[in-house]
Every structure is written in structure tokens, then in C-alpha cells.
Amino acid sequence: MTTYHTITIDHLTIFYREAGDPQKPTMLLLHGFPSASHMFRDLMPLLADHFHLIAPDYPGFGQSSLPDPADFAYTFTHLAAVMTDFITQLGLSKFYLYVFDYGAPIGFHIAAAHPDWIAGIVSQNGNVYREGLGAKWATRQDFWDHPTAAKRASYRNAFAPDTIRGQYLTGTPAHSVGPDGYTLDIAYTQRPHYADAQLDLIFDYQNNIKAYPTFQRYLRDYQPPLLAIWGKNDPSFIFPGAQAFTRDDPHAIVQGVNSGHFALESHAPEIAQAILRTFA
């Protein structure tokens, strides 16, 4: 049974899902863009007999507070700080970390700062290597190097309905992805302040790439048990990003599944089985 909760963190309401026995090992599930913790709705029941599962929505996402960007800095280090306070307030002292997309820089900021918290890592299309950056990132680099108001405005297409549907459907087997996830994500884009918050994060993403050496040094220094399981048809974070983990972490296991970016939408059972083989 999955239950649904809110907690006040740093004057913000943070929503989270919880499943499994708190006496079992905890796994913290960190979602990506433009989604929220609902992306784990199929995975959590498959793992709940083996793990205590916690899946929060970050500020600006899902059911959590979406403060005005004039009052809240939408940066990845700030989101990581809020999630660190969330972890502390829930009393989590040792846990597995599942990171996807935006969850990777957030999670690796936390892991690098608190390596003693981390029992192991599942990275599902959660990139921390330049080798994993698909072709679109060259255009973003131009935006970061030479920002203009017009270029910023153009990135509204990153959360346009057709783009969101494309993120879910590209690279997946025909008829394998239902409409529920992307329909809810599209609905969330209509919240006040959503666009400016997300545009701030798109601009700040450059600092995640600059932090890759820090994340990689954490992997070399602490060598956590790690499963890099990738929708291998993802055009955004390409499969070489999964393979690169083995360079820094000899414990890394790399597996591809025949899916795209949101691989849980089509391959949750296969991903759950891989997690259980690796960590349960």
C-alpha cells in the first residue's frame, strides 16, 4: 500500500509518497523533469516487499509548493538543500538512492556531501558524465554561453504538451506507454509560476555539468554499489552515460532496457527485477 503525505520543510509544503515497511532498508526515489513522484507509481508496489520507499516532489514540481521565483532560487543546489532538510526531518540516516534525470544532480549533490548516508545508487537515465549528453545539449550550451531573453523564451517549448508527450514516447515499443503520466505532467505546467521556475532550472543546468567532476570524484572515493539501468533509446541522456559509471566505480552494473527516457513507463517490472537482483 502506498500512502500520501505532506511535511513542512523550509516554510514549504513538500508532498511525498511512502510504501513498504519502515524496518526494511529505505530507498529514496528522486524524480525528473517535467515529472514528479507519480513517475514511481508502478515501481513502488513492485519493491514494497523489500524496501521502505520514499518519493518526494521537489519545490516547483507535482504537489509540492511552487513559490514565486522572485522569492525562491530555482537552482539545483537549492533543491538539493531542501531535499537534504527533508531527509534530515524524516530521520533517514542510511538509504539507497534512485536517481532519474533531474534527480541525478540533486541526488549526487546529496551523496557527495553526505557519503555516509548512501547504501547504494540506482541511476535510471540519471546522467553525471559528458559522454551521456545527447545532441540537444550543444544548443543548450550556446544558450548558457550567450544567454538572451529570446533564447530563454524559446525554452518554453521544453514543457510544451507535444514535447512532454515526446519525452514519454520516443524510443519506446509501440503501444507500451499509457497517457496517464504525460497527461498529469502537462496539467502541472499550468500552475502559477511554473514557466519561470522551469526556465530558471534549465539555465542553471549548466552548473550540474560543471559539477560532474565532483560527482565522479565521489564515485571514485566511495565506490558505492551502483546499478546504472538505462532506457537505451533515450536521445537526451544517451547510453554511453550509463557505461561511463564503470570508469569511476568498479562496483557499477550497467544494463540497458528497450525503452526511452521515461523507461519506468514501459519497463517497470524489468527495472524492479534488476534492482532486486542487485540490492535485495
Catalytic annotation, residues: 261
The rounded percent of the chain whose pLDDT value lies above 70 is 100
Q: pLDDT digit string (tens) for 35-73?
A: 999 999 999 999 999 999 999 999 999 999 999 999 999
Question: What is the number of residues in the chain?
Answer: 280
Q: pLDDT digit string (tens) for 173-222?
A: 999 999 999 999 999 999 999 999 999 999 999 999 999 999 999 999 99
Mean pLDDT of 88-112: 98
15-35: b or e for each residue (b if 16 or more CB lie within 10 Å)?
bbbbbbeeeebbbbbbbbbbb
Confidence at 143, pLDDT banded by 50, 70, 90: very high
Q: What is the pLDDT of residue 280?
A: 84
Q: pLDDT digit string (tens) for 107-125?
A: 999 999 999 999 999 999 9
SS3 content of the chain, % helix, strand, coil (to 5): 45, 20, 35
Q: How far apart are CA 166 and CA 161, in angstroms?
A: 9
Domains of the chain by start residue, with CATH:
2-279 (3.40.50.1820)
Residues 6 or more apart whose Cβ sits within 8 Å of residue 88: none
